[in-house]
Amino acid sequence: MQIWSTLTVMAAAFAAGTINAIAGGGTLISFPSLMGIGLTGQQANVTSTLALWPGSIGGFLGHRKDLEGTRAFALRLVPPSLLGGLTGAWLMLVTPQSVFDKLIPWLILAATVLLAANDPVGRFLKRVGGHERTTGWWIGAIAFQFVVGVYGGYFGAGIGILMLAALSLLGLTDIHQMNGLKNFLALSINGIAIFAFVGMEFLRHPGNVVWHLVLLMALSAMGGGFFGAHMAHRVGRKTVRIAVVSIGFALAAWYFYKHYAA
């Protein structure tokens, strides 16, 4: 049974890496698979975050040249990203297990809705983007990025579309620049969350990281990322997103039934 459980989560990590490389939303695959083999919600969340983070480095490196011209944005938005990510990770770790279990359906539903809203929001922002970057806009963007960081540190799935929306409203119109900066900010949020998870694992909250699964899933997710990069033009971003959104809504419905109706 142990072997089959390990193979299951490795397959899920490969699928998550593939999905992240094509359309995003891989957490909606890796997180439930870990719960399915008996991990608690917090163990699954922390383990999934650690396992998928190395794959996000590849996404950042792939867009690193697109960061040119975004220094002013990064200098203003990285600090709230780090502070928010640290806050969200701490909140997740101190949330009682019974409370976190009841939040799981809502977290999955929120991530699914964000993923589903990606294309409509993107079309809307093309029409309303290009605002002048006044002091008020910057203050609002920094505050919003902190909230995104808190959500990202707590659960994380779906933060990409939130950041793209904020960057568009700040006046960025080059989608490559936006993706490069989004990947950098997401790397910062998840990186500081991982720092908190690992630190608390050794200092105060041991048992949330299943280390052997982190290693195996990380390798699988990186393999999936390479596979997804090759499949992106054959399968299509929209097709993958529809499939992941469908899975997400089905999972949300199952967890709502499990925690509230059963």
Residue 94: predicted pLDDT? 87
Residue 62: predicted pLDDT? 64
- Compute the distance between CA of residue 136 and CA of residue 127 in angstroms, rounded to an integer: 21
* Mean pLDDT in residue range 79-83: 93
Higher pLDDT, 144 or 24: 144
Residue 6: predicted pLDDT? 86
Q: SS3 string of 14-78?
A: HHHHHHHHHCCCCHHHHHHHHHHCCCCHHHHHHHHHHHHHHHHHHHHHHCHHHHCCCHHHHHHHH
Does the structure show a pLDDT above 60 at 71?
yes
pTM above 0.75, yes or no: yes
Residue 150: predicted pLDDT? 92
> In the chain, where are the structural domains located?
2-261
Tens digits of per-residue pLDDT, 200-258?
777 766 667 888 888 999 889 888 877 776 766 676 667 767 777 787 888 788 878 87
CB 12 within 8 A of CB 251: no
How confident is the prediction for the chain on average, in pLDDT?
79
Q: Which residue has the tokens 């809502």?
A: 106
Q: pLDDT > 90: what percent of the chain?
A: 7
Does the structure show a pLDDT above 80 at 118?
no
Tens digits of per-residue pLDDT, 8-42?
899 989 988 887 777 667 788 888 889 888 888 88
Q: pLDDT > 70: what percent of the chain?
A: 81
CB 191 within 8 A of CB 158: no
